Structure 1
Amino acid sequence: MSQFTVSGRFQSRGGWRSFSKSVEAPNERVAREFAFSRFGSEHGLKRTQVRIDGVEA
């Protein structure tokens, strides 16, 4: 599995905030899904409240 850095913005009470998360995944598509999943479980956000700008290996 490869290490990917997922970056983007998420909606919080004070507006949109930037983020950068490192995830281990087999490809970019799965890395995006892991990022959405992590924000949902840790922060209680829906997919519409998270914008992914890029995924880098």
Structure 2
Amino acid sequence: MIFEVKGEFRAGYRYQPFSIRVNAVNESMAVEKVKARIGSNHKCKRRFIKVEEVISSGE
């Protein structure tokens, strides 16, 4: 299934909004993939990533 995960992460002294689409088995796996991707790309720790919404695309 495809999930769209929305939220924000800390970039410097402010929070940057994000919206990422990922392919995952369930919602919790989608959140884990997004946290891993943002942490890898932006060197942001998981505690600074706030997930606000997870929407299933249904595919």
Aligned to 1:15: 14
Q: Secondary structure at the match of 1:51?
A: strand
Q: Provide the alpha-carbon RMSD of the alignment.
A: 0.8
Please report the TM-score for the alignment, with normalisation by the length of structure 1: 0.92
Identity rate, percent: 34
Q: Please give the alpha-carbon distance, in whole angstroms, between the structure 1 residues aligned to 2:7 and 2:48.
A: 11
Report the equivalent of 2:26.
Answer: 27
Q: Deviations over 1:21-50 (max 9, x none)?
A: 000001001000000100111111100111
In structure 1, what residue type is equivalent to 2:15? W
Gaps of 5+ in 2: none
- Tell me the number of residue pairs that the alignment of Structure 1 and Structure 2 aligns: 56
Unaligned 5+ runs, structure 1: none
Once superposed, which parts of structure 1, at least 4 consecutive aligned residues long, lie more than 2 Å away?
A: none
